[in-house]
Structure 1
């Protein structure tokens, strides 16, 4: 059900991109935007993992360099029936983690030094299991694609706004350009709708990863405890490396401290208290 919902939302997001192209540039614009979306998705498919890992200066570790962490990931991969991903560590005291990669055979799990110091073994196992669930269901690719498409829509909206201000880019054929209605759609409606859809995709995948992660580690309460601790740090300690473009990838939004008052519709993650409540329900069902 969650994957069906995600597929529908991705289709809507691509449709908005095409519609924006049509409103701003007529039929040719719609075609160009569709081609751009295909190109972006292809680029994202191949390079999203290396880009985000470099952005956070993540360093790959071997079984010799981090034996406990590596063995933990290896055992959980066996539980999840997944190939072993590459394991990375990010040097920051803020506890957090994310997964990336275009498919289970080309994936990576990254954890911070802070999370290794803060969480107990079973809590960290719950976090790693959550990230492995993202890999199993290709959530990192889906989220990155959604963010890329939404970003292009926002960029087009900005260009349309400046074109309107300076009287550029206007077609003599109001029918092709979409006129005032098309301009308002491009500048206001489209970027807002794209952002809401992107956030909805991200939240639905987090719920699914929590449930699947609880099964993989066999201890949903440990994952719930980990989320509570990570959420505390995210709201009280700044993770300097974090950016809005990649914050959706982490198990808890590392920018939560600056966004906690924003309505849930505009959040990349469900409320932590809701996630914990669902994990507690899952633990009761497993008894």
Structure 2
């Protein structure tokens, strides 16, 4: 389903390359398991089932986990009006609208396609942003919906799920006592599976995180071009990131597991290691891109 969101060839090429590398890694991983004589069918079926649940129920799972509640136009007329206007500008179906009662200033979009999508904002972001800034944030989230980012990232995470399950499979079954080769001096199969699974998980993790960071940049770009107000989105990013420092650490830590969904990551102070594997690019990189877009448009 096409929309008026700006196309992004860079996003498409990175998506293709990342999915190709993940697919290649998957083929090699399964080949190694078969060569070791492991019956991996059970693990693959279990992982596939988890993937299908996540794919088809992502909207419900995300809303439940983040305590979001769908709201009617009567309950939130200004929010609905803003989303109505942006959807008309983007020529896309209107998603369901939800609000999460949280002081953490953030927003997210989820759902496997435009018809099943939901856009949720927190009460914290509604209190802190002005209408133009909120418009930029919502445009960013609608771009995720238009580009089916949730579906793509769910599929991309499949290999990591398989590798994680295989690690547990090797640890909690009798594979540790079996030896590779015919002799008793061979390397334990369980150890080989464990090492291969850890490597596969690490590589797939880095690939999906890199793709996630670029998708955030692509959503910033598409949202700014749709509204023609990159400075408003930059202001929202700066304000939200600054306000994170005032949120209690306990609340930030509760929100951190859902950073992949959020407009801006909720990170507690001192989380330098997390930034190395972040789902989002650095704030400076996002602001730099928006400043470049402003110059291209000849406006703020």
Per the shorter chain, which TM-score range? 0.7 to 0.9
Secondary structure of the residue that 1:93 maps to in structure 2? coil
Please say if residues 97 and 110 of structure 1, whose CA atoms lie closer than 8 Å, have aligned partners that are also in contact. Answer: yes
Q: Is it true that 1:239 corresponds to 2:263 in the alignment? A: no
Confirm whether residue 269 of structure 1 aligns to residue 264 of structure 2.
no
Contact 1:21 1:29 in 2 (8 A): no
Q: Distance in 2 between matches of 1:250 and 1:41?
A: 20
Q: Which 5+ residue runs of structure 2 have no aligned equivalent?
A: 1-9
Preserved CA contact (<8 Å) 2:29 2:196: yes
C-alpha contact (below 8 Å) 1:45/1:102 kept by paired residues: yes
Greater shift, 257-266 or 3-12, is seen at: 257-266
Distance (whole Å) between structure 1 residues aligned to residue 158 and residue 62 of structure 2: 13
Cα deviations by residue, 1:201-259 (Å, 9 ceiling, x for unpaired): 11111010000010122211110111111112334423364252x321101112x2257
Instruction: State the Cα distance separating 1:65 from its structure 2 match.
Output: 0.4
Distance 1:85 1:171 in 2: 53
2:295 alignment counterpart: 284
1:16 equivalent to 2:25? Answer yes
Question: Does the 8 Å contact 2:170/2:190 carry over to 1?
Answer: no
Residue of structure 1 equivalent to 2:216: 206
Is the partner of 1:154 in helix, strand or coil? helix
Following TM superposition, by how much is the alpha carbon of 1:122 offset from its aligned partner in structure 2, in angstroms? Answer: 0.4
Determine the C-alpha separation between the residues in 1 that align with 2:232 and 2:179.
Answer: 58
Equivalent in the alignment of 1:152: 162
CA distance in 1, matches of 2:46, 2:12: 24
Q: 2:55 aligns with which of 45, 68, 82?
A: 45
Alpha carbons 1:17, 1:153 under 8 Å: kept: no
Specify the SS of the correspondent of 2:99. strand
Question: Counterparts of 2:99 and 2:179 in 1: how far apart (Å)?
Answer: 51
Per the TM alignment, residue 28 of structure 1 is displaced from its structure 2 partner at its CA by 6.2
Bigger Cα Rg: 2
Aligned to 1:249: 261
Alignment partner of 1:157: what SS?
helix
Q: Distance in 1 between matches of 2:147 and 2:256?
A: 24
Question: Following TM superposition, by how much is the alpha carbon of 1:3 offset from its aligned partner in structure 2, in angstroms?
Answer: 1.9
* Paired residue secondary structure (2:263): coil
| Residue in structure 2 matching 1:188, options 151, 176, 198 | 198
The separation in 2 between residues aligned to 1:262 and 1:13, in whole angstroms, is: 24
C-alpha distance in 2 between matches for 1:41 and 1:182: 25
Alignment of 1:61-100 (within 5 A): 61-100=71-110
Question: Using a 3 Å threshold, how does the CA distance of structure 1 residues 147 and 24 change in structure 2: closer, same or farther?
Answer: same
- What CA distance in whole angstroms lies between the structure 1 residues aligned with 2:255 and 2:34? 35
Report the secondary structure of 2:57's partner residue: helix
The two structures have a TM-score, normalised by structure 1, of: 0.86
Number of equivalenced pairs = 282
| Kept in 2: contact 1:158–1:187 (CA 8 A) | no
Answer with 47-56 or 153-162: which moved more: 153-162
Deviations 1:20-47 (A, max 9, x none): 3443454765666665565444333311
TM normalised by structure 2 equals 0.83
